[in-house]
């Protein structure tokens, strides 16, 4: 498809990026730590780490990992919320030549066991709050070393002791656990500081992250994101931001979890490259506390999903904040709603800009120009060095215009290598020409803006997180009182969509409450059904396939 969108690029944004400027994420990190050494890099719980401290601490953690006998390409899982330990651990893993496996801290033992086993992770870095989950999963995984940290471990004394005591004994946020031979995070840093660090040569083809996702079909699997994929997306994001931001001065609010690809790339990595200051919000669900934190900061950038922005807008005190420094508000992960965008513009004084991407594309594919004055309903323009093609069911490219609808397919340096150990699943989403099928249906208008009209896949999008019906159905079907089940997405004011299950009973005494309790024991909270409907039978095709479409339609 002709790149008609280039004529809409803001002045100063190039059509192509320089892929050869950096050899790896390690290269970017080390250069940023040198260039911005005395500037603040990451802040959390009132503590700030400067770039020189990130350099030293990540080097020490890398040396500790190398001392475990790990080889280049081995996988290290990281299971924690937005705290200062996260960037230290991630950058340490990357500098050691290892592969980061991000893990959702809210996983159930079943989900955690699957991911650790599938990835072949031999080390996990985890916050103590979730150790009880790891304890239940550990025996069936290849993990040999557990590095344990407490929420306040990066804070100075006496605050460190006070925070850790309060979390464990006053707020009682640490369920009892028992795992033998753990290494504390602080101990790991001390051990690493006394060891020599062996510099590892890394290049674009080396694996950087196994980022787990449901993909466009099926169960959770690891998208193989290389150093080249991430370097490309950082170059693309930097090019898009360049006319509007300045290196070494931006303050970005990082409320979305860093284990999610959007926040990982858009916040943690992009603004590390640009010398920005990431303000890590550990618990953004505490909206009053979040607003109090925002009141202390003259922030210039904020990213989030539609539900986060909507929650802020409806929290007392938010409209009274000082927005005079705010330059960019970026929404991704799920569709930005017009009503939310318009109210945000009215209160914050800047447009809420929508972006679009996938875990499989590191993630950015399209971003709206950052100088938009108001919400335009599109997902934006393809970023530099990105090719887009809209294909019909016969894999033929469609034309331009509202009536020319097709599946959005993307090719570019940010597209993953494939799914980890799943060549069959990779083949389902990659065309012979190297395009990734996104599973989203849309059209391109005469100016080159892309608009999504539907989803080809049955994926349910809950607050920006993918929920796949097959996984929910598999869990529900394990209940002895269930004969048949189908899971679908239904509209929800708070989360965009919510999971609904339609069940045919085997045991007529089965209740909705019992099913939800069963799901809570086996699924992360956002995957748990919010609605349960009982029917005598489910609609099916002539070959017996359950017709989810008819259930969504009522």
Check which CATH number belongs to the domain holding 89 and give it.
Answer: 3.40.50.980
By CB atoms closer than 10 A (0-12, 13-18, 19+), residue 342 is middle
CA nearest neighbour of 84 among 117, 116, 54? 54
Q: Is residue 332 part of a domain?
A: no
Q: Which pair of tokens denotes residue 149?
A: 């940290």
Q: What is the pLDDT of residue 432?
A: 92
**Which of 181, 202, 223 marks a domain boundary?**
202
Residue 327 lies in a domain: no
Please report where in the chains the tokens 């499989």 appear, as a residue.
360
511: domain CATH number is: 3.30.300.30
Give the residues across from 256 on adjacent strands. Answer: none
Counting the structural domains of the chain, the total is: 2
Q: What is the DSSP string of 326-348?
A: --EEEE-SSPPPHHHHHHHHHHH
Q: Is the pLDDT reported for residue 219 higher than 90?
A: no
Q: What is the pLDDT of residues 21-80, one digit of tens each?
A: 999 999 999 999 999 999 999 999 999 999 999 999 999 999 999 999 999 999 999 999
Q: Is residue 165 part of a domain?
A: yes
Q: How far apart (Å, rounded) are the C-alpha atoms in residues 232 and 544? A: 44
Question: Is residue 408 assigned to a domain?
Answer: no
* Residue 75 parent element (H or E): strand 75-79
Tokens of 520: 């809570």
The Cα–Cα gap between 473 and 234 comes to: 37
Q: Using DSSP, state whether 224 is helix, strand or coil.
A: strand
Residue 195 resides in a domain: yes
What is the distance between the alpha carbons of residues 356 and 344, in angstroms, rounded to a whole number? Answer: 19
Q: In this predicted structure, what is the pLDDT of residue 541?
A: 59
11's enclosing H/E stretch is none
* 280 strand-pairing partners: 254
Task: State yes or no: pLDDT of 218 exceeds 70.
Answer: no
The residue range of the domain holding 154 is 48-202
Tokens representing 155 are 């804070």
Question: 304 - beta bridge partners?
Answer: 331
pLDDT band at 335 (very low <50, low <70, confident <90, very high): confident
Per the model's pLDDT, the better-predicted residue between 454 and 134 turns out to be: 134
Alpha helix ranges (H) inside 227-286 = 227-241, 261-263, 270-273
Residue 313's Cβ-count burial label (10 Å; 0-12, 13-18, 19+) is: middle
How far is it, in rounded angstroms, from Cα 192 to Cα 393? 54
What distance in Å separates the CA atoms of residue 62 and residue 192, rounded to the nearest whole number? 7
Q: How confident is the model at residue 215 (pLDDT cuts 50, 70, 90)?
A: very low
Residue 105 lies in a domain: yes
pLDDT exceeds 80 at position 283: yes
Q: What is the pLDDT, as a whole number, of residue 214?
A: 62
170-174, 350-354, 485-489: segment of lowest average pLDDT: 485-489
Whether the predicted pLDDT of 408 surpasses 90 = yes
| 138 within a domain of the structure (yes/no) | yes
- Last residue of one domain, picked from the residues 202, 233, 261: 202
> What's the rounded mean pLDDT across residues 264-283?
98
* pLDDT at residue 293 is higher than 60: yes
In a domain, 139, yes or no: yes
**d(C-alpha 82, C-alpha 93), whole Å:** 17
Mean pLDDT of 97-112: 95
Query: What does the alpha-carbon distance between residue 293 and residue 418 come to, in Å, rounded to a whole number?
Result: 40
**What pLDDT was estimated at residue 542?**
52
What's the CA gap between 469 and 461, in Å, rounded?
A: 11
CA dist 183 → 65, 186, 278 (Å)? 12, 8, 28
**Burial class of 280 by CB neighbour count within 10 A (0 to 12, 13 to 18, 19+):** buried
Give the end of a domain, one of 202, 232, 248: 202
């Amino acid at each position: 498809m002709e790149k008609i969108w280039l004529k809409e690029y803001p002045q100063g944004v190039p059509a192509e990026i320089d892929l050869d400027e950096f050899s790896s994420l390690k290269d970017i990190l080390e250069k940023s730590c040198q260039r911005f050494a005395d500037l603040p890099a990451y802040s959390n719980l009132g503590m700030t780490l400067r770039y020189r401290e990130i350099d030293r601490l990540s080097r020490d953690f890398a040396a500790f990992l190398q001392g475990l006998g790990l080889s280049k390409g081995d996988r290290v899982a990281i299971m924690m919320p937005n705290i200062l330990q996260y960037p230290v651990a991630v950058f340490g893993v990357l500098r050691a030549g290892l592969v980061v496996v991000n893990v959702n801290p809210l996983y159930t033992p079943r989900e955690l066991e699957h991911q650790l086993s599938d990835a072949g992770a031999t080390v996990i870095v985890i916050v103590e709050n979730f150790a009880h989950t790891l304890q239940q999963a550990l025996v069936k995984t290849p993990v040999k070393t557990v590095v344990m940290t407490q929420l306040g471990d990066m804070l100075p004394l006496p605050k460190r002791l006070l925070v850790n005591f309060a979390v464990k004994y006053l707020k009682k946020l640490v369920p009892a656990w028992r795992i033998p031979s753990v290494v504390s995070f602080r101990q790991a840093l001390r051990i690493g500081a006394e060891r020599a660090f062996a510099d590892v040569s890394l290049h674009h083809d080396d694996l950087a992250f196994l980022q787990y996702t449901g993909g466009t079909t099926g169960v959770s699997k690891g998208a193989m994101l290389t150093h080249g994929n991430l370097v490309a997306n950082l170059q693309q994001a930097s090019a898009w931001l360049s006319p509007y931001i300045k290196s070494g001065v931006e303050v970005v609010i990082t409320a979305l979890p860093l284990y999610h690809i959007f926040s990982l790339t858009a916040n943690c990595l992009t603004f590390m490259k640009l010398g920005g200051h990431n303000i890590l919000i550990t618990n953004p669900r505490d909206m009053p506390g979040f607003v109090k934190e925002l009141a202390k900061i003259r922030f210039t950038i904020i990213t989030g999903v539609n539900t986060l922005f909507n929650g802020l807008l409806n929290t007392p005190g938010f409209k009274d904040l000082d927005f005079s420094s705010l330059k960019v508000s970026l929404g991704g992960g799920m569709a930005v709603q017009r009503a939310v965008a318009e109210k945000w513009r009215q209160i914050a004084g800047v447009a809420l800009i929508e972006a679009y991407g996938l875990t499989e594309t590191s993630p950015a594919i399209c971003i709206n120009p950052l100088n938009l004055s108001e919400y335009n309903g599109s997902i934006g323009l393809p970023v530099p060095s990105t090719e887009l093609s809209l294909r019909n069911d016969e894999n033929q490219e469609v034309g331009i215009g509202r009536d020319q609808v097709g599946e959005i397919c993307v090719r570019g340096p940010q597209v993953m290598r494939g799914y980890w150990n799943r060549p069959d699943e990779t083949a389902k989403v990659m065309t012979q020409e190297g395009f990734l099928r996104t599973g989203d249906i849309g059209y391109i208008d005469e100016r080159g803006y892309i608009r999504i009209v539907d989803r080809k896949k049955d994926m349910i999008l809950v607050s920006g997180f993918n929920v796949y019906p097959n996984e929910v159905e598999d869990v529900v079907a394990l209940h002895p009182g269930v004969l048949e089940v189908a899971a679908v997405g239904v509209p929800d004011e708070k989360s965009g969509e919510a999971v609904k299950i339609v069940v045919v009973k085997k045991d007529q005494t089965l209740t909705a409450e019992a099913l939800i309790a069963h799901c809570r024991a086996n699924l992360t909270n956002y995957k748990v059904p919010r609605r349960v409907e009982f029917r005598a039978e489910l609609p099916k095709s002539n070959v017996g396939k359950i017709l989810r479409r008819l259930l969504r339609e009522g």
